[in-house]
Amino acid sequence: MNQTNTMKDIPSMERPYEKCERRGAQSLSDVELLAVLLRTGTRGENALELSERILYHAGENGILSIHQFNKERLMRIKGIGKVKAIQISCISELAKRLAKTSAQELLSFGDPNSIARYYMEDLRHEKQEHMKLLMLNTKSKLIGETDISKGTVNASLITPRELFIEALQKNAVSIVIMHNHPSGDPTPSREDKLATRRIQEAGALIGIDLLDHIIIGNNCYSSFREEGLL
């Protein structure tokens, strides 16, 4: 893209805002969408050029990687101050909430696919492993959820005791556990299988069923229930 100082230097037919007005937001590229939302560039750089540079820093996944940028990391990009960092952070959070709200309509705790879709945006961008505990009542309705751990999920760090203390406090009759693989590959590891077996056995002793263990990858998932591992 040729360097220009302001958006006024770009022919009106090529400006993102005017293009969106004529043809709709779906006609805009990722760079153009971000430019419209940022509205202004920086000294010597218009909003399009700044947006292009932001997505360059995001790497090969482009706009998908924006979720991984916190305010501090954004502000390390030349030309991004506090205001623009907050704008981009809010854009990212809004996208996550829209995706989760859309998935909520199909959420069923008897359907691993709908569970994975609902929690996908919460977990797939995390750089560390996070484990969530979902607690259900006799009608398989969610009565509580909590984060159990952050870091490597394995049998030595995830103990049945901490899971079932939470579940018993909520009077849960069944649980679903879920964690992400930052690599993007949701294939269960040996540690995942060992930890799941211990949790399942402990739950059987106290009358709380482990319905599933779902591993979130990058827009994909693995379900212990679907794969016959539970």
pLDDT digits (tens, 9 = 90+) for 53-62: 888 877 666 6
Phi, psi (rounded to 5 degrees) for 212:
-170, 160
CATH number at residue 211: 3.40.140.10
Say if residues 215 and 170 touch (Cβ distance below 8 Å).
no
Give the predicted TM-score (pTM) of the model: 0.65
Q: Which domain holds residue 75?
A: 7-101
The pLDDT of 217-229, averaged and rounded, is 94
> Is 60 a domain residue?
yes
Q: Which of 53, 69, 101 is the last residue of a domain?
A: 101
Could you tell me if 13 and 85 lie in one domain? yes
Could you tell me if 175 and 218 lie in one domain? yes
> Is 1 a domain residue?
no
Could you tell me if 90 and 111 lie in one domain? no
Q: Which of 76, 101, 126 is the last residue of a domain?
A: 101
Could you tell me if 92 and 111 lie in one domain? no
Beta bridge partners of 42: 45
Could you tell me if 111 and 216 lie in one domain? yes
Cβ-based burial of 196 (10 A; exposed 0-12, middle 13-18, buried ≥19): buried
> Is 2 a domain residue?
no
d(CA 14, CA 36): 12
> Is 158 a domain residue?
yes
Cβ-based burial of 224 (10 A; exposed 0-12, middle 13-18, buried ≥19): buried
Could you tell me if 132 and 202 lie in one domain? yes
Give SS3 for 44: coil
Q: Where are the alpha helices (DSSP H) in the chain?
A: 16-23, 30-38, 47-58, 71-74, 82-104, 112-123, 160-169, 190-206
d(CA 48, CA 25): 15
pLDDT digits 0-9 by tens, 133-146: 999 999 888 899 99
Could you tell me if 77 and 118 lie in one domain? no
The pLDDT of 85-93, averaged and rounded, is 85
> Is 229 a domain residue?
no
Count of structural domains within the chain: 2
Could you tell me if 93 and 124 lie in one domain? no
- Count CB-CB contacts under 10 A for residue 105: 8
Question: What is residue 178's predicted lDDT score, i.e. its pLDDT?
Answer: 94
Could you tell me if 132 and 199 lie in one domain? yes
Place of tokens 């090969």: 60
Res 154 pLDDT > 70:
no
Could you tell me if 146 and 129 lie in one domain? yes
> Is 230 a domain residue?
no
